[in-house]
Amino acid sequence: MMNPLDLTGRAIVVTGASGGIGRSTAVLLGGLGARVVLVGRDTSRLEETSSLMEGADHRIAPFDLNRLEEIPQWLAGLADEVGPFSGLVHCAGITSLVPLRVLGIEQLDEVMRVNFYSAVVLTKEFARKRAHTAKSSIVLVASVAGILAAPARSAYSASKGALIAFARSVAIELAKSGVRVNCVAPSYVRTEMYEKSADGLTPDQLSSSVDATQPLGLGTPLDVAHSIAYLIADTGQWITGSVLSVDGGYASQ
């Protein structure tokens, strides 16, 4: 019986592959047979990710997604070298915990550029005919914060909410070209970003907070990676414009 999660030979770009959800996703997709292009700013951390992966036909592509104007030429060059892409997973992102009263334009712009604007430009360039295969899939990593309110996260929530709205709209626009677009919306997952979110809380206090809001407890990057693989592979071939909550039950309360 054919494995619908088999990605053998398919070229897939994973941003934010230097750690957290991006790293787990890259390792998982490589284990499913994909040829993964690892994107991030830190070459040494991308090499660490590569060392964890099965297969030898992967590629490290260091790049700063803040350089929005350079993305089109950069991604087109990768497509020419690697071949048309079957998938794009946009995991790169930054957190922001700033009360509205002190939120500045520069802070807002930084969060939007990394979390939202880069996703728009990447999706636009991926959608060009020469960049993707006949049937391909884009997964954008949003957040439960883009669905539910949280104090002092207005900029972060706005960037993730924009990502969700964008994915839903562009999914309809790209359906006829064979490109599916979906989001996953994680809540607290044990990553470096999670550790930074403590904001003065002790580890025990942060753990208690998670236990109180997530019935299934704290997730792992692999939990999210599994959902991404499902949407990237043929298992998700009839899914587009969706938002999959991967949050331990957070959004159900």
| Enzyme catalytic residues | 156
- DSSP letters of 1-39? ---TT--TT-EEEEETTTSHHHHHHHHHHHHTT-EEEEE
Per the DSSP assignment, residues forming a β-bridge with 59 are 37
- Under a CB-based contact definition with an 8 Å cutoff, are residues 146 and 157 in contact? yes
Give all strands (DSSP E) within 117-177, no chain letters.
Answer: 132-141
Q: Is 36 exposed, middle or buried (0-12, 13-18, 19+ CB in 10 A)?
A: buried
**Residue 145, amino acid:** A
- List the one residue out of 232, 235, 241, 248 whose CA is nearest residue 90: 232
**Residue 83, amino acid:** G
- Under a CB-based contact definition with an 8 Å cutoff, are residues 229 and 25 in contact? yes
Our separate counts of H helices and E strands in the chain read 9, 7
37 HSE (CA, 13 A, CB side): 25
**Residue 191, amino acid:** T
